[in-house]
Amino acid sequence: MAVKTITIDMEAYTLLAAEKSGKESFSRVIKRKLRPVHTADNLLRNLNKIELSDSTLDRTEEIIRSRRESIASSPVIEEE
């Protein structure tokens, strides 16, 4: 695993150290705090950037139609 040395001021170090729990590394704290959060709100804000193929949209419509016919059974979506 490659590593990179960074310089932070004492205030930043104190804040970072305060976020650590147990023997958690600073790298883990940074990843935990800065990793993007995947929420419905985030999805809605970025929806205009998403592009779906016609085949994906067609398959989605098929699934929605089949669920209307029988809510109890839903088809499995297979990855291509």
- Residue-wise pLDDT for 3-31, tens only, equals 999 999 999 999 999 999 999 999 999 99
Tokens for 23? Answer: 């023997």
Using CA atoms, how far apart are residues 27 and 4, in angstroms rounded to an integer? Answer: 10
Q: Which of residues 29 and 64 earns the better pLDDT score?
A: 29
Using CA atoms, how far apart are residues 56 and 30, in angstroms rounded to an integer? Answer: 36
Would you state the torsion angle of the CA atoms of residues 43, 45, 48, 53, taken in this order, to the nearest 10 degrees?
0
pLDDT tens readout for residues 44-60: 998 899 888 999 999 99
Does the pLDDT value for residue 73 go beyond 80? no
Using CA atoms, how far apart are residues 63 and 72, in angstroms rounded to an integer? Answer: 13
Q: What pTM did the predictor assign?
A: 0.48
Using CA atoms, how far apart are residues 61 and 54, in angstroms rounded to an integer? Answer: 11
Give the per-residue pLDDT at 68.
Answer: 80
